[in-house]
Each structure stands twice: as C-alpha cells, then as structure tokens.
Chains A and B, each alone.
Chain A
C-alpha cells in the first residue's frame, strides 16, 4: 500500500464514527496496542520537544525503507494512539516517499487540533521529525 492508500484506509475507518468521542475511543484503543519502544531508543536525544506529554521517536534503515519506533509516556494514551497512526502511515516506506509525503488524514479524520496545536498533543513536531529522517536517509543512503 502506498502512503496515500494507507491514509485513505484510515479515513474510511474513522468515517464509521459520528460522535467525536467514539473517534477518541478508537484512538485510545489503538494506543493501547502500540508495541513498546525498544529500550535503546528511549533516550533524551530521541525525545520530541514541544509536546505536552513525553514522546520519543527512533528510526532504523531496514533494506531500502525506514522503520520507525515511537512511544509516549504510559499515561498519554491519546498521544500513543496518534503515534500509532503516524507509524502505520509512514513506517516501512522509502525515504523519498516519507520526505515528500503529504499527510492529510489527520485533518480529514477531525483530529487536526490534537496534532497541530502546541498545547494539546503537539505531535506536529513528531511528524516533522519523521519527514526529516526521510530527508536525511534519502540524501545519505548509508
């Protein structure tokens, strides 16, 4: 699946919910299923700043794609859920595709305020960091 196909799939899933609370519940449940991040990535260097909750992001080149690991502090379940969606869309994709991805699903599912506003969520910086990894690996394919 391409990045956009994955985004469209998520949009379809969220379309099943009318009540924003049901969407939030869905995100929380996704967060609970987010696999724990390998210890070695839980470093200060990998901490994403600008989020109200503590959030980490690590990346590994696997073959010709990038695999992302990410996590939030245990109590920040909405953040975890949103992180799991970002990973679903961007992980295991080619660096160029990640760097140039147009991420539209967040707005479309009505969660834009959670991701963009600095006070809530603040996951915009995580998204920016993922794209930056794409950029770096695309230009230094080491």
Chain B
C-alpha cells in the first residue's frame, strides 16, 4: 500500500521553507509549534514582496493600472477562499484580521442586534479564550447566559450533555472545530444540526481545523466559520469569516469608515453591500493577496495527502512518546489532528520547554489560551508538539530523545 510519505516528497517540501534550515542554540531547528503558527513557503514570501515591489496600490478606488492589478489580486483571494470553503456565494467571504477578529465581528454585529436578555449562548470546555471572551463581553452587555458543553477525560465533548443544554432559549452556539490544546476533532455536523433544531445559529472556530481538514460549509450547514491564514501556511493579520448570505445581510456593520459605505452625508450614510460593509478602511492588501498563494500551495500538495501524512506523524509520535516512562499524553480523543499535548511527572512544563529549546526543539508550553480547559483537566498546562506537512519522523525521534534528556536533567 502506498502511504502519504511515499506520495509527498517531504525533503522537497522542506526546501520550500527556508526558515527550517537553521541552527537554534547550535542545533538544527525542529519546529513543532505549528498550532501556534505555521511557517510560510517561498511562494507566499514571493507573493508578499511581489505585491510591494510590483503593484502596491490602494484597492477598489483607483482607476490606474496598479490599483486595478492590486484589486484583481485581492478579489482573486476571495474567490479562492470561496472554493476552499465551498461557499455558495462569493460575498459570503469576509476578510478579517484572523479567527479572533471574525468571532468578535459576529459577537458585536449579530450578537448585539439579535440577542437579548435571558438568551443563551453555548460554547464548549475546549474553547480557546478567543471563543470565550467575546461571548462573555456580549453576555455582560446584553444579559445573556453562557453555557458550556462538558468533556470527558479523553477530551471528547459529551454530546448527551450538549443536548440537555439546548432549549428554545438557545440563540447561538459557538464551538471549536479542532481543539488547539488537545487536537480533538469535534463532531460539528451533529452539533450544528442539533442547534438548528432549536433555531440557534452556529459559529465554528476553524482556526486549527482549516489546515488539516477538507472544509465544506454547505455540507456542514454552519452559519459562520472563522479562520486565520497564518495557521494555513499563509501570512499573519489575515483571516476569513464565512457567513450565510441571508444572515450577513441582516447584520449591521460594526466598524465604520471608508470602503464600507455607499454614500455619506452628514445627515445619513448608506452602507455598502456584502462583503464590503464589513471591511471598513484600507484592508490588509498584501497579506490577503499572499493568502491565496498559501491556499494554492496547499492545493498543490493535496489536502488529503497532507492530512494523511500528518496522521502518520501523529501515530508515530503517539507511539514514540507513549513509550516514555513518566510521560502522560493529555487528550486521547477518538479523532485527533496532529497535535500531541503531554505532561511529565514531577517536571514543570516551563522547564520542559526551556530545555527542549536549548536542544533546538520548539514546542509550546503553558495553558495554550485554554485556561478553563486546563482547569477541567486539573493541570496548569502542558507541553505541546504540533505537526505540519514539513515535519518528519526523525524530528519526532529528536523530540523523544529531548524528553528523555529533560527527565535525566531533572533527576
């Protein structure tokens, strides 16, 4: 049987990421912090400098050549994301600064317009702070009530408990597709269907899912989907909020300025159409343009191939780390992406991170912006290795050796 390792030429892929080829503390870098942000391949870097060096201009306004070219490239990214998410309409793709920005857009625009005192919002124990705090702010302002879907000890959501939380008071459900701390892939199709059955709208935080899982917002039937390009081999400061057209049309703009208007007088302003009414001000043109290149890069490799290869890495790492005495993997959900969180007996995760860094291995340590989840699991934090398409089994071997070294030093 042919494996993903055979299909993808990993060494050639690594050559597209020059940042990987460097020494850290005198050791070859192992970059295992991909859930925080992925590295960017050369074509993405070229797209950025190509724009600034060749056709930097403000978009949608000018009639000159450069402005035309920049506008065309900018809008081409919107079409690419429409394909990437399989959205029905082009104007359902709103450019944001990232996942957090998209969630805040929904909370501030949809939430403030349509939610009222006593309405209930459901999130889950797995959420990143960026899918907790915007709802708490809304609840504080509007008198809504926040409910939380519990998890089991493996890090799977308790869907039975979710059903019990759903009532006619539930107006919005906002759940993470893939947990950044544990890697759990949530059954969002089920979550969405059950929410719709009580008439609630659903937002999916896709920050971690989008680089690993093939997405189809029409099949999922979610009302909103928020993601960040920087976790997709693309630039920082750029993201997409998908929203169903009818809902987006009903929502008021929440930032005012240029670009989002049709006509302004001191008496009254009429707003622009979708998607522009949510894109006030000069957008992040360069990063939007380069994000398309990132999607093309993923397409070139094949998302299924990437997912299959990362799954092989996850299996390998789970086996390798599982062999280490005194190491406990945190998060053993039924379905996981290539994220492996662990704790070492008697060793603070911060110390683990410091020593691994001295060995040239970049992992993330701490609560991963999921403090309520850490609290539920009864730990202060974990060390987390998260894999991308350019990682290798040899690097996982180095991590395993590094962990043994940490344990030895602490003895």
Task: Report A's interface with B, CB cutoff 8 A.
Answer: 20-21, 24-25, 28, 52-53, 73-79, 114, 119-121
A78 neighbours in B (Cβ, 8 Å)? 348, 350-351, 354
Within B363-392, which residues are at the interface with A (CB < 8 Å)? 365-366, 381
Contacts of B347 in A (CB 8 A): 75, 77
B366 and A25 within 8 A (CB): no
What residues of chain B lie closer than 8 Å to A21, measured between beta carbons? 355, 358-359, 405, 409
* Bound CA span A18–B60, Å: 58
A84 to chain B, nearest CB (A): 15
Report the tally of A-B residue pairs with Cβ distances under 8 A: 48
Q: B353 an interface residue at 8 Å Cβ cutoff?
A: yes
CB contact list, B304-334 vs A, under 8 A: none
Do A77 and B359 form a contact, CB below 8 Å, given A52-B381, A53-B350, A120-B354? no
Interface residue from B353, B359, B405 paired with A120 (Cβ < 8 Å)? B353
B346 interfacial by beta-carbon distance below 8 Å: yes
Interface-centre pick from A24, A114, A121 (highest chain B CB count, 10 A): A24
The answer to the question of B25 belonging to the interface, with a C-beta cut-off of 8 Å to chain A, is yes
Closest Cβ of chain B to A47, distance in Å, is 14
B410 lies within 8 A of chain A by Cβ: yes
**Chain A residues, CB < 8 A from B409:** 21, 24-25, 28
Q: Which of A28, A53, A78 is most buried by chain B, counting CB atoms within 10 A of its CB?
A: A78
The docked-state distance in angstroms from the alpha carbon of A142 to that of B152 is 55
Central interface residue in B353, B359, B410, by most chain A CB within 10 Å: B410
Query: In the complex, what residue of chain A is closest to B343 when comparing beta carbons?
Result: A75
The reply to whether A77 and B358 contact each other, CB–CB distance below 8 Å, is no
A77 touches B410 (CB 8 A): yes
A40 CB to nearest chain B CB (Å): 24
Q: In this complex, what residue of A is CB-closest to B349?
A: A52
- A-side contacts of B366, CB under 8 Å: 52, 119
Give the residue name and chain of the A residue nearest to B350 (CB).
Answer: A52
Question: In chain A, what residue has the closest Cβ to B366?
Answer: A52
Residue of A nearest to B347 (CB): A75
The 6 closest A-B pairs by CB, nearest first: A75-B348, A76-B348, A78-B351, A52-B350, A20-B358, A21-B358
Pick from B346, B348, B350, B355: contact of A24, CB below 8 A: B355
- A52–B354 CA distance with the chains assembled, in angstroms: 12
Q: How far is the CB of B399 from chain A (nearest CB, A)?
A: 16
Assuming A21-B359, A28-B351, A77-B351, what are 4 further A-B pairs, CB within 8 angstroms?
Answer: A21-B409, A28-B409, A28-B410, A53-B348
Are A76's CB and B350's CB within 8 A? yes
From A78, which residue of chain B is reached at the shortest CB distance? B351
1/0 per residue B334-354: CB within 8 Å of A? Answer: 000000000000111011011
Chain A residues near B353 (CB, 8 Å)? 120
A76 closest partner in B (C-beta): B348
**Most B CB within 10 A of own CB, among A53, A73, A74:** A53
CA A24 to CA B25, docked complex, whole Å: 13
A-B pairs with beta carbons under 8 Å apart, 8 shown: A21-B355, A24-B355, A25-B409, A52-B350, A53-B348, A76-B350, A77-B351, A78-B354
Return chain A residues, CB-CB under 8 Å to B365. 52
Checking A20, A75, A119 against B351 with a beta-carbon cut-off of 8 angstroms, the contacting residue is A75
Q: How far is the CA of A80 from the CA of B209 in the complex (A)?
A: 39
